Amino acid sequence: MNLAIKDIRYSLGRFLLTAAGVGFLITASIGMVGLYRGIVADALLLIEQIGADLWVVQGGHSGPFSESSAISTDMDRRVAGVVGVAAVRRFTQTSQQVSFNDRSVRATITAIDFPSDTGDWINLTAGRHLRNGHYEVIANDNLSLALGTSITVGRDQYHVVGLTSGMVDMGGDGLMFMSVNDVITIMKRRTNEEILLARKSDLASGLATGNSDSNGGSVDGALDNQKIAAVLVTLSPAADEQAVREALLAWGDVNVMSGQDQKDLLLNQRLLRLRIQILAFTGVLLVVMAIVISLIIYMLTIEKLHQIAMLKLIGARNSVVINMIVQQAFLIGAGGFAFGIGLARLIFPHFPRRVVMDLHDLGLLAMTVAIICAFASLMGISRALNVRAQEVLS
C-alpha cells in the first residue's frame, strides 16, 4: 500500500496547488537561465552564422561587438592581397529607427557585401536573399515587417524581400540586412544641424591653427569619409592562420581577431556582469525554492504527526514513515518540475526576449530540484523520527 499516493489522492487539490507553487518557482528558474542562454545565443548568433575565419578590425581595438571599430572601406582590397586569404567581405552595423506605415521601430542594420555575398548564410523564413545591390532588405520577424513592405531609412525607400526569425542583436533589436553600400550611405547621412556644427568646429580649428581655408573642404572631407567596422576573412584551406594573422598585424593599423576571440570578448567582457547577475539571481531563486519546498514538506509532516505516531503504535517500521515522506517530497518536486516546464513552454515564446530552454540546463535543474527534495525530506524525516508512539494518546 503506497501511503504517499493514497494521501495525495485524498488531498489532490492541495497537492496540485503545492506542486503548482513549486512549479512557478521552477518556471522562474528556467526563465532566468533561459534568458541568460538567450542573450548569449543572440550575441553569438551573427558571429557563428556569418562564418568568418578572421575579423580584421581597427588597430588597437577589439571591435566591432565589444567596442567600436572603424576602418577604411577599401581595406578589403588590401586584405585580399595577403597570401592565404581566399575571400573577403566588408562588414558594418548601425542602429537606426526605421519608419513604415506611420510606425517607427528600432533595428540593427547589418551590412552584406553584395554581390560577393548575397546573405545566403541567413536562414530565411519567407522571401529571398538579396538580388540587387540597392534598396533591398532582409528583416527579422520581430520588426513586424511583411514581405514587400516599403520602409524609409534615411532618405531612401527600401523593400523587404526576405524575412528571418530569431535574428536579433544582444540588446534584442531585430537585425535588418542590407547591401554594404546602402549601409554606408545610411551611416554617412548627416542632419543639417550636424553639418553646421561640423563646419563651425572646423572654422574654429582653422583660426586657431592659422589655416585660412574657409571653404569647408576638410568638413566635406570628413563628411565624405567612408568607413566600415571590419573585414571578414575566409582563409584558403591550406592557409596558415597564424601566418596570415602576423602578416596583417605587421601593417600596424589593424587588429586581427578570430571568431573565437569575438565570442570570448562578448562572453567574458561585455556580457560578464550580466552573466554573473543572472546567475546570482538564479542562485537566490534556488535558495528560495529550497526553503519553500523544505517548509512545505516539513509542514506536511507536522500535519501528519498524529498519524505517524499511530503508525508507530501499530508497529510500523521507520522505513514506512520515511518512504511516505520521501515519496511525497519527490512527487511534489516532480509535479512542480513538470508544471514548471509546461508553463515555461507555454509562456516564454511570448516573451520579448528569447528564452532558451537548453536540455542540459533542464537536466541540471531537475537534479537541483531532486537534491532540494532530498534535503527537504531529511527535515521532515528528522521530525517524524522524533515522534513517539504514545503521542497518539495526547
Q: Does 1 bind other proteins (CB under 8 A)?
A: yes
For residues 170 and 204, what is the distance between their CA atoms, to the nearest angstrom?
40
Q: Between 9 and 345, whose beta carbon lies closer to other proteins?
A: 9
Q: Between 69 and 328, whose beta carbon lies closer to other proteins?
A: 328
| Radius of gyration in angstroms for the set of CA atoms belonging to the chain, rounded to a whole number | 31
The stretch near other proteins (CB under 8 A) out of 261-269, 274-282, 348-356, 383-391 is 383-391
Residue 17: Cβ-neighbour burial (10 angstroms; 0-12, 13-18, 19+): exposed
**CA distances for 367 relative to 33, 118, 333, 363, angstroms:** 15, 46, 10, 6
For residues 200 and 223, what is the distance between their CA atoms, to the nearest angstrom?
14
115 preceded by a cis bond (ω within 30 of 0): yes
CB of 11 to other proteins, least distance (A): 7
Q: Does 10 bind other proteins (CB under 8 A)?
A: yes
Q: Does 389 bind other proteins (CB under 8 A)?
A: yes
* Residues contacting 175, CB < 8 A, separation 6+: 46, 107, 108, 109, 110, 139, 140, 164, 167, 168, 169
Q: Which residue has the cell 522524533?
A: 386
Give me the 272-311 binding string for other proteins, x by CB under 8 A, dash otherwise.
----------------------------------xx--xx
Q: Between 208 and 393, whose beta carbon lies closer to other proteins?
A: 393
Q: Which of 97, 226, 269, 390 binds other proteins (CB under 8 A)?
A: 390
Smallest Cα–Cα separation from 274: which of 347, 364, 353, 360? 353
Q: Which residues lie across from 177 on neighbouring strands?
A: 110, 138
The count of chain residues that interact with other proteins, using the rule CB under 8 A, is 23
Give me the 313-352 binding string for other proteins, x by CB under 8 A, dash otherwise.
xxxxx--x--------------------------------
CB of 306 to other proteins, least distance (A): 7
Q: Which of 89, 90, 312, 354 binds other proteins (CB under 8 A)?
A: 312
What is the contact surface with other proteins in residues (CB under 8 A)? Answer: 1, 3, 6-7, 9-11, 306-307, 310-317, 320, 388-390, 392-393
